[in-house]
Amino acid sequence: MGLFGRQGYHATTIAQIEAAAGLSAGAGGLYRHFKSKRALLEEGLRRQFEAGAPLLASLEQTADLPRRERILAVARAGLRRLDQERDVNRLLLRDLATFPDLLDQVRDHELARVHRALTSWVERESPDHPDPAALASVLMSALSHYWVLTDVYAGRHPHGVDEDRFLRTLADLIV
């Protein structure tokens, strides 16, 4: 997934994957484990879907904090998850449009699951909010956009707004 994230799916060769996995490059060892490069991509995505539990658990671990701090903790956890999934996120933005069925899987298995959990959290956090699903979507979108621009600009957001300042302002808006 690291190669796919850095180089792109289409630019990554089987030989490069084999070498990165400690196999003899170009010897076909990958095919003893996966029937195709796409099958490897599918397995990588499946594993990523399974790795989302800590983020979802963090939604439950903020109950003892003041409200603003709970929002900050959840937002920080979201950015950390985006960082942990850097290669998959790059792949999603760059290559998955050529695999509409895999793009659907990301939407249905990853994004929808996180959105449902965040919506439930917003419902508990702000029971009077008229549209918790929309607020959850705004929060996810703000974090994702901030992360993408920071990643594109090699770790420095193009507006010069550092992560802490961004998150404090986002929390203030939600509160």
pLDDT the model gives residue 54: 66
pLDDT under 50 in the chain at which residues?
Answer: none
CA dihedral 81, 45, 135, 79 (to 10 degrees): 10
- Per-residue model confidence as pLDDT tens digits over 39-68: 999 999 988 888 766 666 777 777 788 989
pLDDT the model gives residue 55: 66
The residue extents of the domains of the chain are: 42-174
- CATH class for domain 42-174? mainly alpha
Under 8 Å between Cβ of 135 and 129: yes
What is the pTM for the complete model shown? 0.85
